[in-house]
Amino acid sequence: MSTDERTVDAAKTQSPGPLAGIRIVEFAGIGPVPYACLILAELGADVIRVDRVGGTGRAIAPSFGLERSRPNVIVDLKSQRGREVALRLADEADVLIEGFRPGVTERLGIGPDICRGRNPRLIYARTTGWGQSGPLRDRAGHDINYASLTGALHTVGTRDKPMQAVNMIADFAGGSLFLVIGVLAALQERAQSGVGQVVDAAMVDGASSLVTMIYGMFATGLWTDDRQSNLLDGDAPFYDTYRCADGAFVAVGALEPQFYSQLLDGLGLAGKLVGNQHDRAQWPEHRKAFTRAFAARTRDEWEEHFADSDACVTPVLSLAEAPRHPHNVARGIFAMVDGAPQPRVAPRFSRTPVLEPRSASLPGADTATALQAWGFTGEEVAALHESGDIHQSVRGTSEGDPATARS
C-alpha cells in the first residue's frame, strides 16, 4: 500500500463523516431500511437500530452486511415502557426511519403525529413498497412486484420474458437511495424552517423515477415497448456482452462513433462490416462477427488487449474477482469486514471522508451502552432490563446484565 493510500485510509478512520452530529433512530426491518441506514451511519450519522423482542428485523440470518456500523438494541415496542423508550429516543433524534406496513407504528403508539408532537424538529421517514396511500397500500410485495408495476421490470430481460435484476431496482435503488435523498432533503429544509416533516419513500415511486429517461425516449419514438429491441437493452451489438474462449464474458459499451471505431480496430474488423454502426438491418451480421472475434481469445486476454483503448470493453467480473481488480483496489472500493470483502459506502468527500465499515452487531448486543449514550441512566437501563422491556444479548443470547453498566 502506498503512502497516499495509507493516508486516505487513516483519514477515513479518523473523520467524523459529513453527517456527524445527526442522530437517527432506525426501527429494524427488512428491505430498503437497513441499507439506507448503513449509508447514513457510514456518512457519519449516529444511528441506533431498535430491534424487536423475540426475533429480528432480518429477512434472513445473518445480516449479510446490511446492519454494519451501528449499535443494535432490543426494545419491546408492544409494552408501555418499551414504547416510552422508543419515544424518548425519538425525542433526541433528528430523524426516525421505519419500514413497517402503513398504520403499524400508529397502532403501536409511536407514529409520526405522536413523535413529532413531542419533537417538532423530527423528520419521520417511512418507506414501504406501495406507499402510504393508494389502493395497494396494505398489500404485500417485493422488489419484483414494485418494479413490475412501474414499467421498469418490462425494460429488462430477453425478448421472451422480463428478468429481475436481483433486488436492486426497487429495494435498494428505488427504496434505499430515494429514502436517503428524502432524509437529506428534509434535513436541508429543516435548516431553513426549523420544523421537521414526514417523508414517504415508496419503492414504487422510486422505481418509476429510475426509468424517467426510458419513458422520455418512449414518448419521442426512440424506444419501443419490445424488450431487446432498443439501443440499451441488448439489441445493439455494440452494447452487449460476449462469451470469450474460456467461457467468461466481456462487456461492450461502444455507443459513440469514436469508441465504436476503436472497437472495430481492436477486433480486426475495421472496413470488414457491411453497413454503418446504426444500420439496424445489418446488426445481426455485426453481432455474428463480434461473437466470432471475441470467442478467439480469453476474457483476460481481451482485457489486456483493450487496456489502453477507449473501445469500452471490460471484463465481466464475478463477485469473487471484483474486489481484487487493480482499479477497485486502487480506489479502495472494498473493505474487509469480518474477513470478507464488503463495498464501502459512496460517494467520497474531500474534507470529511466516510467512515470505515464496522462489523454488524447482533440483535441487542449494544442495548445498555447505546441507550446510555442516548441519555438513559444506568439505573433506568437496569430497571428496563429487569422488567423485560429491553433485552441485552451477549454472544447472541439474552444473558447480559445492564446493571453492571450503571452511570
Contact 263, 312 (CB under 8 A): yes
On the question of pLDDT at 107 being above 80, the answer is yes
User: Domain check: are 90 and 178 in the same one?
Assistant: yes
* Stretch 292-319: mean pLDDT: 97
Give residue 261's domain range. 239-243+249-315
- Please give the pLDDT value at position 34: 95
Q: Which residues, 6+ apart, have CB-to-CB distance to 324 below 8 Å?
A: none
Q: pLDDT tens for residues 249-294?
A: 999 999 999 999 999 999 999 999 999 999 999 999 999 999 999 9
Between the ranges 59-63, 311-315, 393-397, where is the mean pLDDT highest? 311-315
For a pLDDT cut of 90, what percent of the chain falls above it?
A: 86
Distance CA 202, CA 132 (A): 8
φ/ψ of residue 44, rounded to 5: 110, -5
Query: For 231, which DSSP code?
Result: T
User: Domain check: are 147 and 290 in the same one?
Assistant: no
**Helix 203-210 crosses helix 178-193 at what angle (to 10 degrees)?**
100
Omega of the bond leading into 343 within 30 degrees of 0 (cis) = no
- Please give the pLDDT value at position 393: 85
The three state secondary structure string of 99-124 is CCCCCHHHHHCCCHHHHHHHCCCCEE
On the question of pLDDT at 398 being above 80, the answer is no
User: Domain check: are 90 and 140 in the same one?
Assistant: yes
Catalytic residue IDs: 142, 171
- The answer as to whether 331 is a domain residue is no
- Please give the pLDDT value at position 27: 96
* Stretch 216-244: mean pLDDT: 96
CATH number at residue 344: 3.40.50.10540
Least trusted range by pLDDT, from 40-44, 50-54, 391-395, 403-407: 403-407
The three state secondary structure string of 84-100 is HHHHHHHHHCCEEEECC
User: Domain check: are 177 and 104 in the same one?
Assistant: yes
- Please give the pLDDT value at position 406: 32
- The answer as to whether 329 is a domain residue is no
- Residue 15: pLDDT band with limits 50, 70, 90: low
User: Domain check: are 136 and 197 in the same one?
Assistant: yes
Distance CA 189, CA 186 (A): 5
- Please give the pLDDT value at position 366: 96
Q: What burial letters (b/e) apply to 44-53, b meaning 16+ CB within 10 Å?
A: bbbbbbbbbb
Q: Which pTM does this prediction carry?
A: 0.90
Cα→Cα distances 153→144, 176, 257, Å: 7, 18, 29
CA-wise closest residue to 311 among 365, 261, 353, 275: 261
- Please give the pLDDT value at position 63: 60
- Please give the pLDDT value at position 55: 56
CATH number at residue 299: 3.30.1540.10
* Per-residue cell: 276: 454503418
- The answer as to whether 230 is a domain residue is no
Between 280 and 60, name the one with better pLDDT.
280
* Per-residue cell: 65: 452486511
